[in-house]
Structure 1
């Protein structure tokens, strides 16, 4: 999860660090790794070494012509911008993404690489240029990362909806079975078996009823199974930090597909609505019915949003808000795992309770809505 800023002085990275064979689907490989825990000054020489190893045309470039800066320190990954001054005086920028330590515990990296190839070809995200032991290198996107307050603006919400419609039409080879409940139950199994070295954290953890959580998972799984929601290739993590906007070109980008998988359409949309709250979980920002209908119109019929029927709006409202509950369950369990595994300075245990309590607050309202809708 991260940010990349506008840099109008850079040239097209694919012209400078492509593999030279014209194959847009291949990328460079390196066995090197970069210690996630290093402070930036100590990390820079390792990043330069990595770039020289991946891109042979830079192997003899003097280190002084590389500049490295941190552009993100999100709650999962770190993003760094590397700019190289070439012989002709032009600058080339790339993005180095360091996977968060232990994130492979919940993320399938092979699946992510497979998805990036096809999504990039469809015009989504940055081009994959290289892969190393604990991260990847991608083309630099000249844009700003959105904030939670941005994504609820009507004009941007409409554009996100249009792009999500296109995203959901991309075909990724492999199993098209929805992964939601497999992933939630997998997270449940890992989360419920955790042990903390920190006595205070263990005490907080022991207060959690995993029997209750398991029963909640089964109930929401049963309710959502009745909705017959379409299965599409989903982003599954469409928060503001994974949306970028080049305002000069008026172009919106989706980035970071590490949680991408085939999933229920309603989950991807409901999960996006939850992200209006940001990391601080200010759920007073959750979109109103009117705001959701605005999004649905541009998602269902991007070219003729005013032609969407009331019936279709209602159905998608029920679908998205019921799967929104599943989103809370997933990220709550994810947060417990991160609380034990991640070295990043973020209060994951608090995040668990914020998400789980919001789930409990909304469960009856939206489960009742779904059952009433299905009973018609």
Structure 2
């Protein structure tokens, strides 16, 4: 080591606390600008967290619903006619399906096409509200694993009298929220007493929008001929595929191709896949918002460098190195990104909680979305602030003091 090298003092070091104080100086003195520049990052992170949280919560709710209702429910129908009404199945279809090995229960229903339900007799006949009237077997709730929210379902006694049970949507459309002894609806030109209101049936939306009456009263008052138009079949869990392959030929041996057999749980499973594909689209939009936020941070930092040239020149004249100046502005950009990321995570969690509670879901937000959101925001802030930091470090002290 030469004498000149020994006489040269080592470059000063900046403590982390000092760097933090210097990095927040611009944010503290220009608070509105800091909030607006961090808002873009916050929106992007909030979109990502909210999409991840809402998607996870909805998927968990759907999967829980599938687990509760089971995947062993099958529906048998013969399609619809030109008028949109369900076609009737052969009269022997119910009896024959009940004899299929692996079938636990069968519940027939029949849509009464010429019968409508109204709140009272003053409602114009054309204003049906999209509601249907169905004859239903007393075993329907047990087969569908459904529940009655108010009142009770049809039984062997009430099925023979003008008594109806309303699906959840039908009750809402008719403006009936509770069941009292005097609650009635105008059904097929007769007053029917409302015995109960059903909970929603996710596996049978057609039941939700129907007024259900017994088979005996359907025959005595509306001339029902005894042929069902839709059957609900509960099979053994381990024999669902085997039973589904036999139902067409069993329901209508002469025209098996005209019979439709479906598994309602497949529709809920498909909704999970749709939710995943929709989530990918919204995540892309969130990434675009995050990119715009990063560009905003970079723009604000460049402006900050130009406005603070005098400060940069003074620090350089007092002994600060280029690395110190670059570190100050890079730290400011990182802090801005971290604050935007934290704010975005909070906003995303709040949006997820609001939507989940509104729809009755359990709130589930992936842990990776929480810490990952902040991490991505910090990275975006660091990348956005890299060029302004280098530009600030390259300013000559004399020029910076002269133009500051």
TM-score in terms of structure 1 length: 0.21
User: Which is helix-richer, 1 or 2?
Assistant: 2
Which structure's CA Rg is the greater one?
A: 2
Alignment TM-score, normalising by the size of structure 2: 0.20
